[in-house]
Structure 1
Amino acid sequence: MEQSRLFTPTNASSLVFLRIALGLLGGGDILGNGIYYHWYLDEFSGFTFSYYGFEWVGPLPEPFLSLFFVGGFLLGIAVALGWRFRVTAPLFALAFTYLFLLEKAHYLNHAYLFTWLAWLLALTPAWREFSLDVRRNPQDWSPQVPAWSVWIFPALMGIVYFFGGIAKMNYDWLIAAMPMKMWLQARSEMPVLGPLWAQEFTAYFMSWAGMLLDFSVPFLLLHKRLRWVALALLFGFHATNHLLFNIGIFPYLSMVLTSMFFAPDWPKRFVRWIAGSRDNSGGRSGLLAGARSQVQRWVEGWQSVVSRSSGGTNAYWQYQARMMKPILAGIVLIIGVHILLPLRHWGFNSDVAWSEEGHRYSWRMMLRSKQGSGNYRLVDNATGEDEVINLRDSLSSRQYRKMVTHPDMILQYAHYLHELRLREGKDVAVYGRFRVRLNGRKLQPFIDPETDLASVQWQWFGSKQWVLPEVMPTENPVGE
């Protein structure tokens, strides 16, 4: 049977590099969240915002939640080492998915992306080269993997870049350079670079450059001669973002995925170059020489181990042939979902930056600055008694900051308050009084204060009349 190009045998080196990088980055991210949000801030001991459809996911009781963060970190290390990969990789993906679903107020685009990457990695034969599994069972060694298991990752990263650029093609970002002006002004006191950030030209340059780079970089990376130019531009782009903004592991994750656009054997050639490099005198000397010698010993030791392999490669490729149609269908489905989700906001009669309809899962990264404030007024339906809920007393600062600008979270907490009062024997109406500012404009009413949110049910599609539209000033029609 003729193989599709997606099943062509391809060098496994870049997939191995990805396995190691994702294991270390993901494991470190799980532990970092545990250290900061759980042990330091204790944010999972009270109310948590869940994703609709995943209301059943909640914080584990102690000591199991603490064990989860430690265990997730160890699973990442196991994945990086390729130890019991077919068990630890799905468990690692499950752990990261649980972390992602644990608190909606912590939503980050790169966390959503990483969740997909972790599950996809678990489905690949990333453990069949340079892993503890192969060292234990050399007969499972395969220096080649099907092309789909390598190219699915840069394909996803290309979608992220492309739709990130498309999302930046709006009035605020390109014509008003907002919110870039606000962000850079806030960093004008930074040593050395502060005066540069204070210049208005810098905000326009970075806004346009970011849009053009995101939009064009997938195509540049597909061109062999322009690939290195794209890599240099992306390195500068992500380094600047890391300097200016607190965006976690995203710059590192992006560079790792960008490297997947290069020839699949680039890590192997890089290791050979290090192992074979010599100083100008033709000999080896110093710490660098010692490191090179150690790398060479590792390479030679690995080659001696896998040289005992026999029979595993043929059985593996026979399995791939049987799975060709299901794998192909799965790839088409995954790519289709990631193309359609960023377009869904066009199905809503609202501005996505204001209403948040279609914002998540759409690679609308660092696009708007929103601040808000508000509270709830509870009215007892039997007695007419009023009660005002001060949210800062019951939510963490991050939860409050996110909730007051996201209608779904406002509705979710309104239902929570209603259920609390029902358990106390009171039937109350819940009215939201929230005001929001988008990209430096004036505060405006965000939620209809006359709508009883306790009687409103969440709907995935359709107009939400209880979310008030932004009223644009006629003298400065930003966003029209």
Structure 2
Amino acid sequence: MTAFLFKRIDNAPLIVFRIIFGLLIFLESVGAIFTGWIKRTLIQPEFTFNFIGFDWLQPLPGHWMYVYYALMGVFGLFVMVGYKYRWSMAAFTLMWTATYLMQKASYNNHYYLLILICLLMLVQPANRYLSVDAGRNRDMRDISMPRWCSVIIILQVGIVYTYAAIAKLYPDWLNYTVVENLMLGKKNYPVVGGILQKHWLHVFITWSGILFDGLVVPLLLWKPTRKIAFTASIVFHLFNSFVFQIGIFPYMSLAFTLFFFEPRVIRNIFLRRKPLYTAGEVIVPGNRNILLVAGMAYFIIQLALPLRHRFITGDVLWTEEAHRMSWRMMLRSKGGYIRFRVVDKNSGKEETVNPRDRLSPKQQRMIATKPDVIWQFAQRLKKEYAARGQDVAIYARGKVSVNRKASRTFIDRETDLASEKWDPFCHSHWILPYPYED
């Protein structure tokens, strides 16, 4: 293991990936400004639904979030050119993670993956060649890297794809319901909108999605099938980029393939002036044991997190408990409605609160189907009424539909959510089981 992980290889894949990665996080940052994402998600809403436990993380007031993202864009450019790489990478990672934790309305697995890749890039010697840092300090210049630099990226990508494939093995995906529902929202696309509604295409997407996620990493690792897998990756990710418009993720995924090819190939394509490293030395650092333990701990956590829903009562597709950070990507469509009944414990006076009067359109689409958000809204109402001197009980009424099936009651109408505690590791008893007959 030591000889394998600490053998020196040419660092061309890492250098090229750093440049592409820096460009992508720059585009992600400035794109959030110019597409109106910051305005819709962080400025216009009355408040944001943060990850529970991070209430102190709130968007900056006024228009300061534009400055915040512009600064992230600058750090992305610094990563790309390799200027003060460690500090720039650390700053972007911290700022991106803070934004991720301060709002859940735009949660997706891609944003979470970006945090993880940032953390992995933070420990990489990615500025040792073709960087401002290496130009200013010739002593740090290097044309090689230990093999673990590639291995950790490959392992992370393998975990993502494997769990994504496993998650698709459930009835609504296998009977084409999920893909059909996903494509219904694309029927107005020019030229291809009609084609996207064809059943044969739904069948193809369903099975190719499973096969691609489950096999792409092994096929990229095996030289005879590498080019085929790479071609399939181009088609798969460009299709996702065009149809689902999911930002930088398809292009970052294509950039990951750099680590699967022989370093010589990457050097010959992108860095022809770079000397090719061929010595193959094994240089074991003095902190080898610390590196190995830290790496093992990280990947054990990555393997465990997507499995935690197995230890929580209920179907995660319905309860949403332990859904996040589990690589359950584009697996279902959900919709519903919810109202809150607020009862003054002293006077018995009741009133109804409609979240639509308080939330942004994106938050409205989320609150009816996400129990943690329902609980957070109830807790917010409790504090607001307490500030007026009222001690209240809060009850939720609403229904949810999964994959366009019949709507079912989601929350126990007799449970006072204001008095409930949130436990991220246990099932909340006030989430009714599915299917639930009224």
TM-score range, shorter chain: over 0.9
- Normalised to the residue count of structure 2, the TM-score between the two structures is 0.93
Q: SS of the residue aligned with 1:469?
A: coil
Change in 2 beyond 3 A, CA 1:105/1:8: same
Superposed counterparts of 1:75-90, under 5 Å: 75-90=75-90
1:410 aligns with 2:409: no
What's the counterpart of residue 233 of structure 1?
232
- Report the more deviating stretch, 459-468 or 418-427: 459-468
Q: Please say if residues 309 and 321 of structure 2, whose CA atoms lie closer than 8 Å, have aligned partners that are also in contact.
A: yes
**d(CA) in 2 for partners of 1:409 and 1:394?**
14
1:460 aligns with 2:421: no
- TM superposition shift of 1:45: 5.4
What's the counterpart of residue 254 of structure 2?
255
- Normalised to the residue count of structure 1, the TM-score between the two structures is 0.85
- TM superposition shift of 1:62: 4.0
One-letter identity of the residue aligned with 1:123: V
Change in 2 beyond 3 A, CA 1:172/1:129: same
Superposed counterparts of 1:84-163, under 5 Å: 84-163=84-163
- TM superposition shift of 1:265: 3.8
Tell me, which stretches of 5 or more residues in structure 2 are unaligned?
276-281
Q: SS of the residue aligned with 2:118?
A: helix
1:322 aligns with 2:279: no
Change in 2 beyond 3 A, CA 1:5/1:427: same
- TM superposition shift of 1:201: 2.4
Number of equivalent positions: 432
Structure with greater Cα Rg: 1
- Report the more deviating stretch, 189-198 or 212-221: 189-198
1:58 aligns with 2:58: yes
Q: Please say if residues 44 and 59 of structure 1, whose CA atoms lie closer than 8 Å, have aligned partners that are also in contact.
A: no
- TM superposition shift of 1:472: 7.2
One-letter identity of the residue aligned with 1:4: A
Change in 2 beyond 3 A, CA 1:380/1:356: same
What's the counterpart of residue 278 of structure 2?
none
**d(CA) in 1 for partners of 2:381 and 2:335?**
23
- TM superposition shift of 1:418: 0.4
Residue deviations 1:339-366, cap 9 Å, x none? 1111111112211111112211111000
**d(CA) in 2 for partners of 1:168 and 1:385?**
47
**d(CA) in 2 for partners of 1:415 and 1:367?**
29
1:352 aligns with 2:316: yes
- TM superposition shift of 1:458: 0.4
One-letter identity of the residue aligned with 1:444: R
Change in 2 beyond 3 A, CA 1:42/1:342: closer
- Report the more deviating stretch, 151-160 or 70-79: 151-160
Q: Please say if residues 134 and 141 of structure 2, whose CA atoms lie closer than 8 Å, have aligned partners that are also in contact.
A: yes
**d(CA) in 2 for partners of 1:367 and 1:427?**
40
What's the counterpart of residue 293 of structure 1?
none
**d(CA) in 2 for partners of 1:461 and 1:209?**
34
What's the counterpart of residue 12 of structure 2?
13
- TM superposition shift of 1:52: 2.0
One-letter identity of the residue aligned with 1:187: K
Superposed counterparts of 1:363-382, under 5 Å: 363-382=327-346
- TM superposition shift of 1:202: 1.9
1:469 aligns with 2:436: no
Change in 2 beyond 3 A, CA 1:40/1:375: closer
Q: SS of the residue aligned with 2:339?
A: strand
**d(CA) in 1 for partners of 2:262 and 2:316?**
38
- TM superposition shift of 1:87: 1.5
One-letter identity of the residue aligned with 2:87: V
Q: Please say if residues 22 and 118 of structure 1, whose CA atoms lie closer than 8 Å, have aligned partners that are also in contact.
A: no
Q: SS of the residue aligned with 2:260?
A: coil
**d(CA) in 2 for partners of 1:185 and 1:417?**
36
User: 2:414 is matched with which residue: 442, 446, 450?
Assistant: 450
- TM superposition shift of 1:53: 2.7
**d(CA) in 2 for partners of 1:63 and 1:391?**
25
Residue deviations 1:194-251, cap 9 Å, x none? 3332222221221111011111112111111101111111211112212221322111
Q: Please say if residues 14 and 266 of structure 1, whose CA atoms lie closer than 8 Å, have aligned partners that are also in contact.
A: no
- Report the more deviating stretch, 349-358 or 194-203: 194-203
Q: SS of the residue aligned with 2:52?
A: coil
One-letter identity of the residue aligned with 1:102: M
**d(CA) in 2 for partners of 1:187 and 1:413?**
32
**d(CA) in 1 for partners of 2:63 and 2:362?**
24
Superposed counterparts of 1:41-56, under 5 Å: 43=43, 46-56=46-56
Identity %: 34
What's the counterpart of residue 476 of structure 1?
none
Q: SS of the residue aligned with 1:225?
A: helix
RMSD of aligned alpha carbons: 2.2
One-letter identity of the residue aligned with 1:100: Y
**d(CA) in 2 for partners of 1:439 and 1:401?**
15
Change in 2 beyond 3 A, CA 1:143/1:235: same
- Report the more deviating stretch, 400-409 or 26-35: 26-35
**d(CA) in 2 for partners of 1:337 and 1:265?**
33
Q: Please say if residues 309 and 316 of structure 2, whose CA atoms lie closer than 8 Å, have aligned partners that are also in contact.
A: yes
**d(CA) in 2 for partners of 1:400 and 1:84?**
42
Residue deviations 1:94-137, cap 9 Å, x none? 12111211211111101101101112111111011110011111
What's the counterpart of residue 180 of structure 1?
179
Change in 2 beyond 3 A, CA 1:37/1:347: same
What's the counterpart of residue 401 of structure 1?
365
Change in 2 beyond 3 A, CA 1:131/1:272: closer
Tell me, which stretches of 5 or more residues in structure 1 are unaligned?
274-298, 304-316, 474-480
Change in 2 beyond 3 A, CA 1:185/1:42: closer
Residue deviations 1:380-430, cap 9 Å, x none? 111111111121121111111112111011101110110111111111111
What's the counterpart of residue 209 of structure 2?
210
One-letter identity of the residue aligned with 2:182: W
**d(CA) in 1 for partners of 2:187 and 2:62?**
44
**d(CA) in 1 for partners of 2:40 and 2:416?**
37
1:343 aligns with 2:342: no
**d(CA) in 2 for partners of 1:57 and 1:272?**
42
**d(CA) in 2 for partners of 1:419 and 1:206?**
47
User: 1:383 is matched with which residue: 332, 343, 347?
Assistant: 347
**d(CA) in 2 for partners of 1:359 and 1:431?**
24
